[in-house]
Amino acid sequence: MKIALVGATGLVGSVMLKVLRERGFCNCELIPAASSRSVGKKIKFGDKDIEIVSVDEAISKKPDFAIFSAGSSASLEYAPIFAKNGTTVIDNSSAWRSYEDIPLVVPEINGDILTSKDKIIANPNCSTIQMVMALAPLHKKYQIKRVVVSTYQSVTGTGMNAVNQLFKERAGEECNMAYPYPIDLNLFPHGGSFGDDGYTTEEVKLLNETRKILRDNSIQVTATVVRVPVTGGHSEAVNAEFHHEFDISEVFSLLDSMPGVVVLDDPANNKYPMPIFAEHNDDVFVGRIRRDLTQPKTLNFWVVADNLRKGAATNAVQILQYIIDKKI
Domain boundaries, the chain: 2-123+312-325, 127-307
Which pLDDT band holds residue 67 (cuts at 50, 70, 90)? very high
- Is pLDDT of 188 > 90? yes
| pTM recorded for the entire structure | 0.96
State which CATH number among 3.30.70.2660, 3.30.360.10, 3.40.630.10, 3.50.50.60 fits the domain covering 127-307.
3.30.360.10
- Is pLDDT of 214 > 90? yes
Q: What's the mean pLDDT in 252-273?
A: 98
pLDDT in tens, 281-318: 999 999 999 999 999 999 999 999 999 999 999 999 99
pLDDT for res 140: 98
pLDDT for res 97: 98
Q: Tell me which of 26, 175, 234, 243 is the catalytic residue.
A: 234
Q: Tell me which of 126, 139, 190, 243 is the catalytic residue.
A: 126
Q: What's the mean pLDDT in 203-212?
A: 98
pLDDT for res 46: 86
Q: Is 126 a catalytic residue?
A: yes
Spell out the SS3 assignment of the chain: CEEEEECCCCHHHHHHHHHHHHCCCCCCEEEEECCCCCCCCEEEECCEEEECECHHHHHHCCCCEEEECCCHHHHHHHHHHHHHCCCEEEECCCCCCCCCCCCECCHHHHHHHCCCCCCEEECCCHHHHHHHHHHHHHHHHHCEEEEEEEEEECHHHCCHHHHHHHHHHHCCCCCCCCCCCCCCCCCECCCCCECCCCCEHHHHHHHHHHHHHHCCCCCEEEEEEEECCCCCCEEEEEEEEECCCCCHHHHHHHHHCCCCEEECCEHHHCECCCHHHHCCCCCEEEEEEEECCCCCCEEEEEEEECCCHHHHHHHHHHHHHHHHHCCC
CATH architecture of 2-123+312-325: 3-Layer(aba) Sandwich (3.40)
pLDDT for res 216: 98
